[in-house]
A and B are shown apart, each in its own frame.
Chain A
Amino acid sequence: MNMLAHPEARDSTPIIEFRDADYRLPNGQALLRQLNLAVNQGETLVLLGRSGAGKTTALKLINRLLEPSAGEVRVEGRTTLEWDPIALRRHIGYVIQETGLFPHYTVEENVALVPRLENWARALIRERPRELLAMVGLDPAFFLGRYPHELSGGQRQRVGVARALAGDPPILLMDEPFGALDPLTRAEIRGEFQALQQRLRKTIVIVTHDTNEALLLATRIALMEAGELKGVYSPQGFLHSDEPVAAAYAAQLRALEGFERGNRRE
């Protein structure tokens, strides 16, 4: 386990902390068991695992879309139950796979939603969507007045990120943010996101089942399997771990590399 993989992580107190967090469905089925995990200021933690591993459940515990059945989740030192849920969620940007853009709002209205809910000054509410669209690589003049159904999947995803950043939240949660995209668009947006990440220095938690994505974006990787945390690794440490599940992921990557090398030899 490599808690010190990232230099910034060393002296900072955790922004998000799971303490023995359980989540059980009303019928008793456990989706998450005894999760202990800390996310540090400014890092990008990737929750990696297959479907049903409990990644999304863990993510939703952070912005209190779900409440832990046992244990607690702390955000900036306070448990999520101590936070006012609305204040907590306004404090945290949230991007989901299908983006959840409001189909009856234009791109501008979608992005300006949180500033409007927060009663920002009118000039700022006007300014913010323009600034953010430019930041995610969409021409404001062209896109502000569009509706989500007029956009491509990649454009929608960019708007989703812009919307999540609108209130300038210090924390960003992303659930399979690039999952619905074709591989090329995916790689493109992922690259742009990396640049954005460097610039914004937010604390980011990303859920994905894509090992490449995890290795590229993560400062640390939290590996989950069947509702349990298997380990936390630096991207390098992850590739060389003996933990069976991590090793399986690494082996799958090496198989792909072998395939590439094999092709090159032909």
Chain B
Amino acid sequence: MPRSCEHSKDSKGATDVSEFLSQHGSEILNATIEHMWLVGATMLLAIAIGVPLGILVARKPWLSNPILGTANVAETIPSLALLGFLLAVPWLGARADRLTITALTLYALLPIIRNTATGISGVDPAVREAARGMGMTGRQILFRVELPLSISTILAGVRVATVLTIGIATIAAAVGAGGLGEFIFRGLAMVNNSLILAGAVPAALLALIADLILGLLERRLRPAR
């Protein structure tokens, strides 16, 4: 790790920023890519688990409390503590990225499950009845009617979860999983605001961009009413 002593003081001028970037640019880029990989893997996993669970909640209302309750509890555990707990789990704790992605997925699940359930339950009962009455199978109703009609609600959940995950993923650096949190932790340790900003600004930008893109997609896919 290059110790950048010349930046231990706050760099204010534009030259300082460009100098800082030229020195740390590639490092920031790498950390950003690492960050995106953690978030991307988390979101894929969370969607793969959360959407089916959401459908289950919509289908079987009695499962709503146990499933949403569990996801809710996961949400309340402080992220640093959750990483600590999972560190002790045999296979999970063995690798930092594995551990981080698991923890992040637990956080991302709740909005996805909840929005999927809301979306599916929100499908007009007349539409569902017509679909059944026309002889569509349960599978056909799910894939051709219920999911297309709730896709924008589900995406809204994915959007919330993604923004949340991009923020929480900075904590991953605490267990050595890398990402933009590296800069923040280093900056904290060295009382160096530039380093903190080098982690925080790209993370915030990532969150904004993800929010924007998913928001556009959500609006595009919303069925007309």
Which residues of A pack against B, CB within 8 Å? 63, 65, 85-92, 94, 96-104, 113-114, 117, 147, 149, 163-164, 173
Contacts and interface: CB of A to CB of B under 8 A. Distances in A.
Contacts of B127: 100-103
B39 interface: no
Contact of B126 (A85, A89, A98, A117): A98
Nearest to B127: A100
B134 A89 contact: yes
Interface string B183-219: 0000000000000000000000000000000000000
6 contacts: A65-B132, A87-B135, A89-B132, A96-B129, A114-B135, A173-B133
Contacts of A92: 133
Nearest to B148: A104
A96 B136 contact: no
A265 B132 CA distance: 52
A117 B129 contact: no
A1 B128 CA distance: 38
Interface of B: 124, 126-137, 140, 145, 148-149, 223-225
A101 B223 contact: no
Contact of A103 (B128, B133, B140, B223): B223
B135 A100 contact: no
A103 B134 contact: no
A89 B135 contact: yes
B129 A103 contact: no
Contact of A117 (B130, B140, B149, B225): B140
A164 to B, nearest CB: 8
A63 B129 CA distance: 11
Given A86-B136, A104-B224, A173-B133, 18 more contacts: A65-B129, A86-B135, A89-B134, A89-B135, A90-B135, A96-B126, A96-B130, A100-B124, A101-B127, A102-B127, A102-B130, A102-B145, A103-B149, A103-B225, A114-B134, A114-B135, A117-B134, A164-B134
A86 to B, nearest CB: 5
Nearest to B221: A104
Given A90-B134, A117-B140, A99 B129 contact: no
A96 B133 contact: yes
Contacts of B129: 65, 96, 100
Given A100-B129, A102-B127, A104-B148, A94 B225 contact: no
B133 to A, nearest CB: 4
Contact of A94 (B130, B137, B149): B130
Contacts of A90: 134-135
B147 to A, nearest CB: 10
B150 to A, nearest CB: 10
Nearest to A63: B133
Contacts of A96: 126, 129-130, 133
Contacts of A63: 133
A149 B136 contact: no
B82 to A, nearest CB: 39
Contacts of B224: 103-104, 147, 149
Given A99-B126, A103-B127, A65 B134 contact: no
A232 B145 CA distance: 39
Contacts of A149: 224-225
B125 to A, nearest CB: 9
Nearest to B137: A86
Contacts of B131: 100, 102
Among A85, A100, A163, max chain B CB count under 10 A is at A100
Contacts of A101: 127, 130
A59 B78 CA distance: 55
Given A88-B135, A147-B224, A149-B224, A99 B149 contact: no
A104 B225 CA distance: 8
A135 to B, nearest CB: 18
B124 A98 contact: yes
A104 B135 contact: no
A77 B147 CA distance: 37
A149 B124 CA distance: 14
Contacts of B133: 63, 65, 89, 92, 94, 96, 100, 173
Among A63, A88, A113, max chain B CB count under 10 A is at A113
Contacts of B130: 94, 96, 99-102
A101 B131 CA distance: 9
A155 B116 CA distance: 32
A77 to B, nearest CB: 19
